[in-house]
Amino acid sequence: MLEGNGLLMFLVFFPFGAGLVSYFIGTSSKKSRDIFVIAATAVELAAALILIASAGDTNDFHWHAFAGLGVHLRGDGFRTIMAILAGFIWLFTTIISCVYFKKLGSRNRNRYYMFALWTLGATMGIFLSSHLYTTFIFFEVMSFTSYILVIHNETEEVIDAAKSYVGFAVFGGLATLMGLFMLQANLGTLEMDALIPAIETSGVSEVTLVWACALVLVGFGVKAGMFPLHTWLPQSYPAAPEPGTALLSAILSKAGIFGMFVITGQILLHHFSWGLALTLLGIATALLGGIMGILSDNFKKTIACSSMSQIGFIIVGVGMQAVLGHHNALAVRGSILHLVNHSLIKLALFMVAAVIFMNLKSFNLNDIRGFGRKKPALMFTTGFAILGVIGVPLWNGYVSKTLIHESIVEYIEIAEHTGWAYGFKAIEVLFIIAGGMTCCYMLKLFFAVFVEKNNDPAKQAQFDANRHYMPVPVAVILIISAAILPVIGVIPNITADGIADVAQGFLHGHSPEHAVHYFSWVNISGTLKSLAGGVAAYLVIVRLGMLRRQPDGKKKYVNAWPQSLDLEKKVYRPALLTVLPFIGALFARSVASIVDWFTAFIGKIIFFRRPERFEPPLNNEFGTFNEEEKESKIPQGISYSLIMFGAGVVAVLYFIIIAFISGWH
């Protein structure tokens, strides 16, 4: 049975149908397919914009017969903003994709576009979901459809990265499902609006609730790239084609943040310990992403690590929502706005990466060094995106980072003269340091591509002469994506506050008691300290440490990240592929041995007159007999042992069921 606003259903399921149509069109005409996929994403964006106008109508949709518990969708303020954001970014990346794949002569484009549209539908299903079961269904669909975007190039390195991506996705999905089972069992509902009332009436223990939410967090934390579940991200983002990476960073990572919003704003509302844990995880994610970004000598990997770092800032904001309790207005608004800002910034940066790769087929800073000189459109886009991500006043990143930072300061004032105040002062310092790291690695990219000259003068001459490095439609899209960023930053009391006012209800947030003075000296001076630290780090770490003189006297960027710190290869893979299988095999063999001995002993008692002469079978690995066993005609191998063990389990379960039924009656 279908009921409610059909536009919500259209937003979720239209891309699935469009993906199939695009595949079949592509088998006969590549040009027609490209036109169709661009038109399909444009229709999706238009439908998301129409959703704003239908806010006064029935803005829910239910498909009760779907997958048992049904599909439950809603088009309120925050969800509508996320739908519009996804549609906008998908349209721009699709236009870039058509140029990018044609320029490179890529194979399997039909497959890519079909799965990209399917991923769009699944992502819309997540952002518009009003029931955690619906969220989970589309979250899993998104994980597997986006796997095709990661593995598109099918090189050995890409396949290895894709294995990590899907492995973490499966692990996270199973953990999330287990947590949802616990929530359903204890609360009786997964409807988002009913969760808090259910908690108040169910009497569920706080420990049980936190454990359930921790399991749910694993799956969402994996997709967001949260430490220590981040190891797939620095591999998978560089492995995917640039338009795909733009989707991964700008939108798909936000599906993980959406889940964190639900846990923190709809279940563990104002839970201090939960907020503290998220804040610490967020700081660790921001710092580690910043360090990895600084030490990388690869353009795309640097902005991939930047995505991880900026996600850390958002997680800090989510954590501070719970820490501050009813005083969390700044944290709520800051985390929502940084989610939106980061998506827009990474759209611009990864499209710049696509332009660079289309021309040079490389991201190594030594190969692309000097490429951006005398290319004003590319410099404009990159420069504006960098100013946004490092949080320079008058750009969008400054607004959201200021709000998150002020939420930390607010708690320090609330907890004045207590131990918590000193702890959060340390968190504030680390937050500022992480912001300085952002400045450091972004300066590295800008100077390498747009200021420095290539070590090879002939290559630099080719760079300077290349004035047709991107088609006009690509240039227009890049300029538009960059021009949006200061619009939010210049008039934040209209643009940023307007977005926050619409979206904050999803997190049970409220407007601050007083207007935020974004450009007060206190806020600007804090930003300047962070930027100054970033400039200093760039001069010391990058210019002196990463630019190393070669035997020919020229300086070259080096990758300074120690491979010994690779968590996945040093910890996760050995644990999952070696240690756990060994423990499992050892346990299984021990149990089998005990079962063999036990069943053999029972067999002696039952089938022999003199059990005191019992001796263990000498050759029973394949169910063969020793001399005494031949008399009994009963094999004593592992198969027989398992049969006997199974019979015992059945008997015990039968006894338990009878006892339960008797007690129940």
With both helix axes pointing from N to C terminus, report the angle between 206-224 and 132-150 in degrees, rounded to the nearest 10: 30
How far is the C-alpha of 2 from the C-alpha of 634, rounded, in Å? 61
Pair of tokens at residue 392: 């320079």
Rg of the chain, C-alpha, whole Å = 29
Please tell me the predicted confidence (pLDDT) of residue 580: 63
Reported in sequence order, the residue ranges of 538-652 that DSSP labels E, i.e. its strands, are 547-549, 555-557
Pairing state between β 547-549 and 555-557: antiparallel
- Residue for token pair 């006009």: 472
Look at the block and give the residue holding tokens 């690509």. 474
| pLDDT at position 269 | 87
What residue type is 357 in one-letter code?
Answer: F
3-state DSSP assignment of residue 331: helix
Measured at the CA of 292, the angle between CA 286 and CA 297, to 5 degrees, comes to 145
Residue 426: which of 271, 225, 227, 284 has the closest Cα? 284
Asked if the bond preceding 228 is cis, omega within 30° of 0, the reply is: yes
Cα–Cα distance for residue pair 278/411, rounded to 1 Å: 15
Using a 10 angstrom Cβ sphere, with 0-12 exposed, 13-18 middle and 19 or more buried, the burial of residue 28 is exposed
**Mean pLDDT of each 10-residue bin along the chain, 665 residues long:** 83 93 90 92 93 68 76 88 93 91 85 93 93 91 88 82 82 88 88 88 86 91 85 79 87 91 90 92 93 89 91 94 89 93 92 90 89 90 93 91 92 82 89 92 92 87 85 90 91 89 87 82 85 91 84 81 63 62 69 72 59 48 45 47 60 60 46
Structure token pair of residue 629: 């066993």
Is the link from the previous residue into 473 a cis peptide, with omega within 30 of 0? Answer: no
H or E element: which one contains 73? strand 71-74
Q: What is the pLDDT of residue 625?
A: 44
Secondary structure (3-state) at 364: strand
- Give strand pairing partners of 129: 73
